[in-house]
Amino acid sequence: KYFKPEKHLPPGPRPWPIIGNLHQVGKNPHVSTALLAQEHGALISLRLGSQVLIVASSPEAAMGILKSQDRFLSSRFVPNAFHTYYLPYTLIWSQDCNENWRSLRTLCRAEMFSGKALESQSIVNIEEVIFTTMFNTLSNIFFGKDFLDLKDEHGSASGLKEKLFQTLVNGLAPNVSDFFPILQRLDLQGLRKENLKHIKDIFSSWEGIINERRLALATQKGECFLDRLIENGFSDDQINMLALELFTAGTDTTTSTIEWAMAELIKNKNVMFELQQELKHKINSSNIAESEISKLPYLNACIKETLRLHPPAPFLLPHRAIQTCEILNYTVPCGAQILVNIWAIGRDPKLWEDPLSFKPDRFLSSNLDFRGHDFEFIPFGAGRRMCPGLPSGITSVQSILASLILKFDWVLPNDLDPMKLDMNEKYGVTLQKEKPLQLIFERVI
C-alpha cells in the first residue's frame, strides 16, 4: 500500500513502509548493492525513503545509462547539502548541461587540462605530503603559484584541507532531506547551513589572489588558468566554485589511488620487483618527465589494476533522470537517482579472471583503456559527464607513484608480514583504506 509497483521498474528487494530499502544499503553501499545485483540482476531499483534509486552493475547497463540514454540521464542528483546560493555556478554538480556548464567544461579542457599546461609544471617533489603535492600542482595551474606555501594571510594548509574535506563529508552524508524531498527546505540536520559556512571560509582563502589577478590583467598578459577565466568574463562566484570543485576532486581521488597502489605493491612483492626493474631500466634520471611515462607499460598496468580493484569513486557521481526512458527493457522514471557501481563491475568474475587478485599483467595484453569506451573499465565515467580532469589526474598518479618507487625502498613497520597487511575498505568521500597505510622508507642510492 505504501509503495505501489511502477510498471517495468528494474527488479529489487521489496521496500519497507516509510524507509524503503534504507536498511539494506548500510555503511558500504557499493558492496551491498553489488550483492543485491547478484540476486536481482544487473539493473536494480531501490527506494531510499520516497526517492527512487536505480543502480547499474554491468557494462551493458552502464552503457545504457552513460551512452545510449546519456541525453536523458546526464543530469545530476544533487545532495541537499549542496543546494546553496552557489549551485548555479557549479561544474561537477550542474543539474543540466546548459550553456554555463558547456563553457566551463570547454575552457577546462582547452586550458587547464591541456598537454601544454601539464607539461609546463615542475617535476613532483616526492618528499612533500601527497595532498600538498597535489594541491600545489593544481594551484600552480589554476593560480600560477604554490597556494599552500602562502603566508597566514591566506590560511594554513591543515585548516584548508579540513574544510575542503568537510564540505564533501557533509554533502555525501546520509540526509533525511535527500530521502524525503518534501523536507528539503527544512534542512533538519543542518548540513546545508554548515556546508555554506565552510564554502565561504574556503573562498576567503583565495579571495585576495583573484582580486590581485583582476588588477594585474589591466597591464599584464594572462598566464594562468585563473587569468583565462577572468578574460572570458567569468564572475567571482563561478571562479570560486570551479576552484573548490577542482581542488576537492583532484586531491582526494589522487591521494586515495596512490595509497591503494602502494598498498598493493607492498603486498605483492613480485609486482613491486617487476615495476622497480622497469623504472631502473627505462628512466635515466631521478626525475621523471611526462614524456617518459609512455615508455612504462608496467607502471600504467599497475595503475589500471589499482583503479579496477579500488576505484576512488565506486559509484562515480549520481545521475538524475530528466525524462522517463528505458534501460535493458526496464523503465527508469523521471526524477530517479541513478548510480553506476563500477566497483562491482571491476570485480565481476564474468568479466575478469581471478578478479580479487592484483594482477597488472592482465592489462599488458589488453587494449582496455579508461577513456570511456570500454564499459567494463570506466573509473572516470563515460559520456558527457565523464571526468574532465582525467589527463591531469592520471599524469599526477603516474609521476608520483613512479617517483616513490624509483627513489625509495619501502617496508612495513615492525617487520610486519606484507601478506597480513589490512586491505579493508572504508566508504566515504572516496574509497579509502580503513587503516591508513604506514611505511618505512630508505632512499635508493
* 2 in a structural domain: no
User: CATH number of the domain that 364 lies in?
Assistant: 1.10.630.10
- Burial label, 149 (beta-carbon count in 10 A; 0-12, 13-18, 19+): exposed
Predicted confidence at residue 390, as pLDDT, reads 73
Predicted confidence at residue 286, as pLDDT, reads 63
Q: Is 387 annotated as a binding residue?
A: yes
Helix (H, G, I), strand (E, B) or coil at 76: strand
Domain count, the chain: 1
Predicted confidence at residue 120, as pLDDT, reads 40
- CA nearest neighbour of 354 among 421, 309, 299: 309
Helix runs in 143-268, H state only:
157-172, 176-179, 191-216, 225-231, 236-267
Angle, helices 99-107 vs 236-267, to 10°: value is 60
Q: Is the pTM of this model over 0.85?
A: no
Residue 425, C-alpha cell as written in the block: 575498505
Predicted confidence at residue 45, as pLDDT, reads 98
* 147 in a structural domain: yes
Strands of 62-163, DSSP E: 75-76
* 193 in a structural domain: yes
* 5 in a structural domain: no
* 365 in a structural domain: yes
Q: What amino acid is encoded at 328 in this protein? A: L
Are 298 and 360 in contact, with CB atoms under 8 Å apart? yes
* 4 in a structural domain: no
Domain that holds residue 358: 22-443
Distance (Å, rounded) from C-alpha 94 to C-alpha 321? 14
Residue 163, C-alpha cell as written in the block: 574544510
Classify the C-alpha dihedral 348-352-357-362 as positive or negative: negative
Sequential DSSP letters for 29-61: HHHHHHHHHHHH-SEEEEEETTEEEEEE-SHHH
Q: What amino acid is encoded at 23 in this protein? A: H
pLDDT in tens, the chain (445 residues): 445 555 689 999 999 999 999 999 999 999 999 999 999 999 999 999 999 999 999 999 999 999 999 989 988 888 887 776 566 656 555 555 554 445 444 444 444 444 554 444 333 322 345 777 777 778 877 888 777 754 434 445 567 778 888 888 888 888 999 999 889 888 999 999 998 998 999 999 889 999 999 998 878 887 788 998 999 898 999 899 888 888 887 788 888 899 899 999 999 999 999 999 999 988 876 667 777 887 899 999 999 999 999 999 999 989 999 999 999 999 999 999 999 999 999 999 999 999 999 999 999 988 898 888 999 999 999 988 787 777 777 888 888 888 888 888 888 888 889 999 999 999 887 898 888 888 887 766 5
Buried-exposed string 159-192: b where 16+ CB fall within 10 A, e elsewhere: ebbebbbbbbbbbbeebebbbbeebeeebebebb
* 1 in a structural domain: no
* 310 in a structural domain: yes
Are 251 and 133 in contact, with CB atoms under 8 Å apart? no
Distance (Å, rounded) from C-alpha 195 to C-alpha 191? 6
Are 59 and 376 in contact, with CB atoms under 8 Å apart? yes
